[in-house]
A = this chain, B = another copy of it.
C-alpha cells in the first residue's frame, strides 16, 4: 500500500521548520532554498506546498493565529469575566521565545497585508474574532459586577486589542521597556483600571 502523505501536516512541519530561518534572517533574507534545506527538503520540493514565499507567509500567519487560538482556549477553560479576559490577552502577549518568534512572523505579514487584499482580509477577520471574544468576556465581567466602568465594551476591547498588537512590535524592537514583566504589568494596569471604574 502506498504511504499516505498528510499534506496539511507536512505544511505545518514546514512552517515549524522555517521558524528558525525566519527568526535568523527575517522573511526578506530567507530564501526558499534556505527554507527547503532547513526543513530537509530537496530544493524545489517546497513548490507544491508553497509556490511563493508570500504563500508561505500567509500560511505561517494562519498557523500562528490558530496556535494562539488553541492556547487561548486552553487558558480560558473554567474562567469567565476579567479572569478569562486576562488569560486570553496573556496568550497574545509575546512573553516567551515562541511568542517572540510569532511576532517576527506577524510583523512581515502586516507589511505584506498593506498591499495584498487577501492577506488584509485574513488579518481583519482573525482580529475580529479576538475582539469579539474580548467583548464577550467584558460582558460577563459586567454581569458579574466586576467592571465598574460605564465606558463602552467595544472601546475597552479596542484598547486591549491595540495594546496586545502594539506589544508585538515593542517586545521585539524595544525589549528593555517591554520585557515580559513590564508587558504583564501594563495588561494588569489596564484591567485593574477597568475593574475600578471611572
A residues in contact (CB < 8 Å) with B: 25-29, 104, 107-108, 110-115, 120, 123-124, 127-128, 131, 149, 151-152, 154-156, 158-159, 161-167, 169-170, 172-174, 176-178, 182-183, 185-186, 189-190, 192-198
Contact = CB atoms under 8 A, between A and B. Distances in A.
Q: Closest 9 A-B residue pairs measured CB to CB? A: A166-B166, A162-B166, A26-B115, A193-B193, A165-B166, A196-B198, A111-B111, A159-B186, A155-B185
Contact of A131 (B113, B151, B177, B185): B177
B159 A189 contact: yes
Given A127-B173, A156-B189, A165-B170, 9 more contacts: A26-B112, A107-B111, A124-B176, A155-B182, A158-B177, A162-B162, A163-B166, A190-B193, A196-B196
8 contacts: A108-B111, A110-B173, A111-B111, A127-B173, A128-B174, A162-B162, A162-B166, A163-B166
Contacts of A177: 127-128, 131, 154, 158, 161
A56 B87 CA distance: 41
Contacts of A154: 177, 182
A177 B172 CA distance: 26
Nearest to A131: B177
A39 B197 CA distance: 52
A158 B186 contact: yes
Nearest to A187: B159
Contacts of A196: 149, 193, 196-198
A32 to B, nearest CB: 16
Given A151-B192, A182-B155, A113 B29 contact: no
Output the residue of A162, A167, A195 with the most chain B CB within 10 A.
A162
